[in-house]
Amino acid sequence: MLDEKLRQAAARLKIALEREDWQGMIEAWSTFIATDPTLTEAYVNRGNAYKMVANHAKAIEDYSKALELRPDDQFLYKSRGSCYHSLGMLKAAIDDFSRAIELDAKDPDVYYKRGCAFSEENEWSAAIEDFSSTVTHNPAYAAAYNNRGKAFAEIGQSRMAIHDFNSAISIDSQQSSFFLNRGQEYAKLGNHELAIRDFSMALTLNPNDEMTLYNRALSYKHVGLLDEALADLSQLIQLESILSYRAFQERAQLYTSLGQDVLAQDDLLNASAAIQFAEELCQQRVMNDQLLKELSNQRISLDVVRMIDHSFECPASASDRLVAALQEMGFTVDPLDLELKKYCSSKNNATSSTWVRCHEQATPNEMRQRTFELARLAFKLGASYDGWGTPLGQNEI
């Protein structure tokens, strides 16, 4: 009977590997572990599968168990460190990466990973040292040059930063962020012609990048190319990004300098509304990150499709438009919620508002982008996006 279970698990594993079915791999390796709890490779491979579906907490458990059985495995420390990093547990990540380096001091990836963790801790000297070790062991590591350049920029060494961005671009000229980063340093040094050249190249690679459009507009303004600056700011405003309020403010200044005071006043009013949207979006991002972390800590995969619920508070007069927009985006709206009323009172009047709830089948990780889309939709309609949640199954509680 036991041999039959193992044969079935091996067959499932073979199919799962061919299909890159991570959940199938998890189930198959779980069978092997249940049969032999000392099978190190089973913990390693199940941990790898959990990592691939962003269930970092479960991956950490498996890597930790594997390390009990094989305490000097550099790969396991590197992998567990990556999972700690994904969960924002930077000290634990740095400790694991440091142990991995002790076991293999020539692995450029571990230096790079630890350098990234140091960067998030704003430990720029340590980050620079690690990125330097990365390129020592792999001189073609473009991302390491880029990140070392960003670290130099953070401590005010623009020329050193530009040197590193040059190296990154010479290795990989298809990364828009490399050109953006170098352009920002040229702008800091007052060389706006070179900055514009880099921003333009970045936009060739990524035409709607918000930060690049904003920075190029500022450089155009510095060299007196006001029409070009207006065009970039207008494009940024059309994208309805979190930077819209800055774009409105900058465009208002340009309109004022051109004597177009009415347009300038309109932009200042729009800037005030855009600031409110930016604040709401920042709050949503914080809440979103907290919820994703909680789900991961509960060992729930962030890359597996599940039911996701969204809720809004909307003026009754706009509820039909909100429902239509959500349905057009592919959401299923609960019709019962449209009859639930909540009365929001103010000093001067009482206004009827409606709770609108909708749901979709999606992965939790997709909510990083979805929260922005839904917050923007709500803001347009004068509604409030209250966030998302997901029901837990019996075995997840």
pLDDT tens, position by position, 162-181: 999 999 999 999 999 999 99
Instruction: Give the CATH number, domain containing residue 205.
Output: 1.25.40.10
Residues 138 and 239 in one domain: yes
Helix axes of 226-238 and 210-222: crossing angle, nearest 10 degrees: 160
Residues 318 and 267 in one domain: no
- Let me know if residue 290 belongs to a domain: no
From 244, 277, 310, the end of a domain falls on: 277
pLDDT at 349 over 60: no
- Let me know if residue 54 belongs to a domain: yes
Residues 26 and 106 in one domain: yes
Rounded-to-integer distance, Cα 217 and Cα 238, Å: 14
Residues 249 and 301 in one domain: no
Q: In this predicted model, what pLDDT tens digit does every residue of 284-317 receive, in sequence order?
A: 888 888 888 888 878 788 888 899 999 998 888 8
Residues 123 and 59 in one domain: yes
From 220, 247, 277, the end of a domain falls on: 277
The answer to whether residues 10 and 28 touch, using CB atoms and an 8 Å cutoff, is yes
The pLDDT-based confidence of 9 (bands split at 50, 70, 90) is low
Residues 190 and 229 in one domain: yes
pTM: 0.80
| Structure tokens, 113 | 């990973």
Residue among 9, 14, 63, 13 at smallest CA distance from 40? 63
Range of weakest confidence among 218-232, 247-261, 352-366: 352-366
In terms of residue numbers, what domain contains 215?
2-277
The tally of domains found in the chain comes to 2
Residues 241 and 347 in one domain: no
If you average pLDDT over every residue of the chain, what do you get? 89
Residues 343 and 372 in one domain: yes
Q: What is the pLDDT of residue 4?
A: 64
- Let me know if residue 58 belongs to a domain: yes
- Let me know if residue 228 belongs to a domain: yes
- Let me know if residue 242 belongs to a domain: yes
Residues 117 and 191 in one domain: yes
Rounded-to-integer distance, Cα 322 and Cα 327, Å: 9
Instruction: Give the CATH number, domain containing residue 383.
Output: 3.30.70.970
Residues 250 and 340 in one domain: no
pLDDT at 394 over 80: no
- Let me know if residue 289 belongs to a domain: no
pLDDT at 395 over 70: no
Rounded-to-integer distance, Cα 65 and Cα 294, Å: 22
Q: In this predicted model, what pLDDT tens digit does every residue of 226-268 receive, in sequence order?
A: 999 999 999 999 988 788 999 999 999 999 999 999 999 999 9
From 213, 244, 277, the end of a domain falls on: 277
Residues 250 and 330 in one domain: no
- Let me know if residue 176 belongs to a domain: yes
Residues 149 and 27 in one domain: yes
Torsion, Cα of 350, 352, 357, 358 (10° steps):
-130
Rounded-to-integer distance, Cα 173 and Cα 29, Å: 41
For the chain, what percentages of helix, strand and coil (3-state, to nearest 5) are there? 70, 10, 20
- Let me know if residue 301 belongs to a domain: yes
User: Sign of the CA dihedral 366, 367, 372, 373?
Assistant: positive
